[in-house]
Chain A
Amino acid sequence: MSGFSAGRFMAVLIKEFIQMRRDRVTFAMIIGVPIMQLILFGYAINSDPKNLPTLVEMADSGPVARAVISGMANSEYFDFIGVVTGIGEGEEALRSGRANFVVVIPPHFERDIIRRQSPSLLLVADASDPTAAAGAVGAMNAIVDVAMREVLIGPLAAAARAPPPFSVIVHRQFNPEGRTSTNIVPGLLAIILSMTMVMITAIAIVREAEKGTMETLIATPVRPIEVMMGKIIPYVLMGYLQTAVFLLAAQQMFAVPFEGSAFAFFVGFNLYLLVNLALGFLISTVARNQMQAMQISFFTLLPTILLSGFMFPFAGMPGWAQTIGTAIPATHFLRLVRKVMLKGAGMADVSGDMMAIAIIMIVIVTAALLRYRQTLD
């Protein structure tokens, strides 16, 4: 763009900062939302519920089976509430919510262990509330292990040694990935940033048009790029502040780890921030007033929440939903943050995700600059 003036750019920047400072409600929202969300989701994150109602179908009631059952009961995760005959009855109980688990001990369980045929013990879990089931499911292998050691003694001791005498098969129904709770916090960062940043930028720009100040602004020799940069940079800093608050709170309240490269996080985070601000800018070129800007922002938030892998596991979505999800920046940022924070990833591991965000950003920025007019029509 010809004739860029640092002075005008700075003027827009300063004006934007002053307006931001005077708009206390928005400022409070930017700081308040992440903390509030963390606390709300925190209940889910912290819950490792015990004493979950469990049914058992015992086709073999030998000592090994009984040892497993009592081991499960002792773990306090499982609370045996009854016996079922046939898996149909068990599934009905899961569906109605009467039970969270059904344990199926197959016929000839003990005999097959002794014959070293490695029989399967089936644990059917209601994973529609994954955080509720995760703790119990995770504990299952250890419970079985201990139970075996106690019961397989004497002549059976040989069977207790590796390979495992039988396998535990866990069926998570309704939610195949069965995410663990820490997964939510990094995901939440992606959602909060896109929720606040898109909307705030869109509103801040539409406000100029709605209040009529846009007319004064574009009657001056200001260039579109000066307006765009001057308006976006204050919100970049806002995003920094918001993320710092969020990470600090997540660390303090829920001891969420940060295993990987801070640099990789920082680069990915900036990319993601920019893509959201650019999207807000694009929305502002479409919306006619602040209300519309808010509504369109909310509209874009829905697929971000539903299809990015935050709410439902990405791999479990149908093909068309995955296609849409791939075009959503949050999808890639979510993966990036999970990899970096939880799996200790570095720059090389997340370069693909960064690339994806960068491509989406180029598309959005191009569209925004094309739509932004220097005239009122």
Chain B
Amino acid sequence: MSVEAPGDNLPPAPAITVTGLSKRFGDKLVVDGLDMAVPRGSIYGFLGPNGSGKTTTIRMMCGLLTPDAGSGQCLGFDIRTEALKIKEQVGYMTQKFSLYEDLSIRENLDFIARMYQVPGRRERVEAALADLGLSDRKNQLAGTLSGGWKQRMALAACLLHDPKLLLLDEPTAGVDPKARREFWDEIRRLSARGVTVLVSTHYMDEAAQCDFIAYIAYGKKLIDGPAAEIPAMIGLHTWRVDGPDLAKLEVELKDTNGVEQVARFGAVLHVSGTDGPVLEAIAKSHVARGTHHWQEKKAELEEAFIFLMAGAKDNFVAPEARKS
């Protein structure tokens, strides 16, 4: 839809827009004044450390939780007052497996299809089973499936009613690499058909496949934008270092002023900082020693997020200091 119509003068309204969204549990502000816009037809990655409020935000977007403050629309419906209309057009895959373990695979899919009053239900369910490759195991209890198969089944369940918007909360947690790739093939196929996908994940390779990314920590959005531009937006400079005894070098670099992050990637170190010239000077002084090989590289999403995650702690401890 929107993706296939780039010539339109008026960009279509985003599938989701929220402004100032906040949620409090007890005295803990779990989501704090979040603004977000998910363009129609895009794959939108939602990242953030554990407990940062991703699940809570997704639940508010589809009307499962009432925000304490803020407003928003989802597919043109108000998230506060029109939850029922939103639910009809949204497929929500929960983080924790939440289909019925004591129902068979087919019974689960059939139940969900009935909930959405899917036309041609029987055929739709059979087709979903065939797509999953579970036709011959359809009478097996869902609780006896392995973790990865449960995830695949859950995805199939939330696609039964052809939703316009998919909210996937860590859909590939515990899924093996091959199945993960198939999962993402499916997500891209859906996106190409015009389905908007909001997906939360902790995997960087998955983040790299998204059109847009938002990163939140402690309920606050730190950054959002097109995935490819995120490292540049942060302004991170990175050097790749290889050579002997990296562990010792790592300790030394971590104590060096101007080096903000040292991350180990296999047999190399990625040394990053926001001040390019300072970092370059450090690199030069090390190259002069002649023990290691230093080479500047383009900062990738991976470094960007490790950097964001480290910064998030500061953000939480001294939010005032960061704002100024």
Contacts and interface: CB of A to CB of B under 8 A. Distances in A.
B100 A213 contact: yes
Interface in A338-377: 374-377
Given A220-B87, A376-B65, 20 more contacts: A3-B84, A10-B114, A11-B114, A19-B102, A19-B103, A213-B99, A214-B98, A215-B94, A215-B98, A216-B98, A219-B64, A220-B112, A220-B115, A220-B116, A221-B84, A221-B116, A375-B64, A375-B66, A375-B83, A377-B66
Interface string B41-83: 0000000000000000001001111100000000000000001
21 contacts: A5-B117, A8-B114, A8-B115, A11-B114, A14-B111, A15-B111, A19-B100, A19-B103, A22-B102, A211-B98, A213-B98, A213-B99, A215-B64, A215-B94, A216-B92, A220-B115, A221-B115, A375-B63, A375-B66, A376-B59, A377-B66
A7 interface: yes
Interface string B111-137: 110111100000000000000000000
A23 B99 CA distance: 17
Contacts, number: 74
B275 interface: no
A173 B64 CA distance: 61
Interface of A: 3, 5, 7-8, 10-11, 14-15, 18-19, 22-23, 211-222, 374-377
Interface in B248-305: none
Interface of B: 59, 62-66, 83-84, 87-88, 90, 92, 94, 96-103, 107, 111-112, 114-117, 157
Residue among B83, B97, B107, B115 with the highest chain A CB neighbour number at 10 A? B115
Contacts of A215: 64, 94, 96, 98
B102 A216 contact: no
Contact of B88 (A14, A212, A221): A221
Nearest to B167: A219
B262 to A, nearest CB: 39
A371 to B, nearest CB: 15
Contacts of B92: 216, 219
Residue among A10, A18, A19, A377 with the highest chain B CB neighbour number at 10 A? A377
A219 B92 CA distance: 7
A232 B102 CA distance: 19
A314 to B, nearest CB: 42
A219 B99 contact: no
Contacts of B157: 216
B63 A7 contact: no
B64 to A, nearest CB: 5
A15 B62 contact: no
B116 A216 contact: no
A211 B100 CA distance: 8
Contacts of A8: 114-115, 117
A18 B141 CA distance: 12
Contacts of B115: 8, 11, 217, 220-222
A218 B84 CA distance: 10
A23 B141 CA distance: 13
B102 A7 contact: no
A64 to B, nearest CB: 75
Given A15-B111, A19-B102, A212 B117 contact: no
Given A18-B103, A375-B66, A11 B98 contact: no
A137 B8 CA distance: 98
A15 B100 contact: yes
A215 B100 CA distance: 11
A216 B99 contact: yes
Contacts of A213: 98-100
A216 B107 contact: no
Nearest to A223: B84
